Structure 1
Amino acid sequence: MLNERAQILLRTLIERYIHEGQPVGSRSLSKFSGLDLSPATIRNVMADLEDMGLVTSPYTSAGRIPTPQGYRLFVDTLLVMEPLDSAELSHLESQLHPDNPTRLINAASQLLSELTRFAGVVVTPKRTGAVFRYIEFMALSEKRILLIIVTPEGDVQNRIIHTDATYSQTDLIEAGNFINQNYAGCTLDVIRSRLHKELKQLRYDMTSLMNAAIEAGGDAINESSEAVILVGERRLLDIHDLSGNLTSLKKLFDLFERKTKLLQLLELSHHAQGVKIFIGGESDVASLEEFSLVTAPYEMKGEIVGTVGVIGPRRMAYKRIIPIVDVTARLLSQGLSQH
Structure 2
Amino acid sequence: MLVQYLMLSDLAKESNAFYVVPSTQELTVGDIRKQFPVKANIYLRFKTILQEENPPMAVWLDNLDDFAPAPTFKDQILVKALFIPPFDQSTSVLPKKKIYKESKHSHSKQSAQRKQSDFLVMDDGTHGKHGERSHSAAPLHENKPHDTKLPTSHEPRHAQNQEMRFNPTHEFKFPPINEVKVTSSQQGHKKYIDPTDGLTTEQLKKRSEDRINQQVEKKTEDVKKMWKEEANMRQEKQEADKEFSDKINAWESRNCQKNNIRTLLATMHNVLWKDSGWEQIGPGDLITPAQVKGAYVKSLNIIHPDKHQNDPPNIKYISERVFSAVNEAFKVFRASS
Pick the TM interval, shorter chain: under 0.3
Larger-gyration structure (1/2):
2
Greater relative contact order, per chain length (Cα 8 Å cut-off, separation 6+): 1
Greater percentage in strand: 1
